[in-house]
Amino acid sequence: MITQVVTANRLVDGIVVFLAADGGWSERFDLAAVSRSEEASRRLLGIAEQAEADRVVVAPYLIDVREEDGAVRPVRFREHIRAFGPPVHPQFARPGAGA
């Protein structure tokens, strides 16, 4: 089964953002809209590509996530770092790690 969210960088400042359920973009990973089907993923990516064309974000893509103890987590370590900030600089940790 598919579990995915869409991420991108904001055009103006480059900050990592996630496509939220309301169609907006959030810096918080825990506010990302979760897709549970190929069709939903396609739809989310479509919204994101429109946002790219509208110059809101750059280079959107889908990432795999998994649900664990009620919280959603990125599968790949790279995406974990991207979502929550560089581990070597805890002072730049991002909110939204969830439960």
Partner 1 sequence: MYRYDEFDRTFVDQRVAQFRDQVRRRLEGELSEDEFRPLRLMNGLYLQLHAYMLRVAVPYGTLSAAQMRKLAHIARRYDRGYGHFTTRQNIQYNWPKLSETPDLLDELAEVEMHAIQTSGNCIRNVTADQFAGVAADEIEDPRIYAEIIRQWSSLHPEFSFLPRKFKVAVTGATRDRAAVKVHDIGLFIRRNAAGEVGFEVVVGGGQGRTPMIAKTVRSFVEKRHLLSYLEAIMRVYNQFGRRDNKFKARIKILVHEIGIEEFTRRVEAEWAEIRDGVLDLPADEVARIHAYFAPPAYEPEGEAAATLARQRLSDPAFNAWVRSNAVAHKQPGYAIANISLKPEGGVPGDATAEQMDAVADLAEQYSFSEIRVTHEQNLVLPDVRQDALYELWQALDAQGLATPNLNLVTDIIACPGLDYCSLANARSIPIAQRLSRRFADLKRQHDIGELRIKISGCINACGHHHVGHIGILGVDRKGEEYYQITLGGSADEDAAIGKIIGPAFSSAEVVDALEAIVETYLRVRREGERFIDTYGRVGAEPFKEVLYAAA
Give the single-character DSSP code of 72: E
Match 């309301």 to its residue by tokens. 22
End-to-end CA distance of the chain: 23
Helix (H, G, I), strand (E, B) or coil at 16: strand
Given a contact cutoff of 8 angstroms between Cβ atoms, the answer to whether 64 and 76 are in contact is: yes
Q: Which of 66, 92, 93, 95 binds partner 1 (CB under 8 A)?
A: 92
Q: Which of 61, 87, 93, 95 binds partner 1 (CB under 8 A)?
A: 87
- Kindly identify the residues of this chain, within the stretch 18-57, that bind partner 1 according to CB under 8 A: 52, 55
Task: Tell me how far, at minimum, the Cβ of 17 lies from partner 1, in Å.
Answer: 11
Q: Which of 13, 22, 69, 70 binds partner 1 (CB under 8 A)?
A: 13
Size of the site for partner 1 (CB under 8 A): 23
Report the relative pairing of strands 16-19 and 71-74 from DSSP bridges: unpaired
Q: Which residues bind partner 1 (CB under 8 A)?
A: 9, 11-16, 52, 55, 58-59, 75-78, 81-82, 85-89, 92
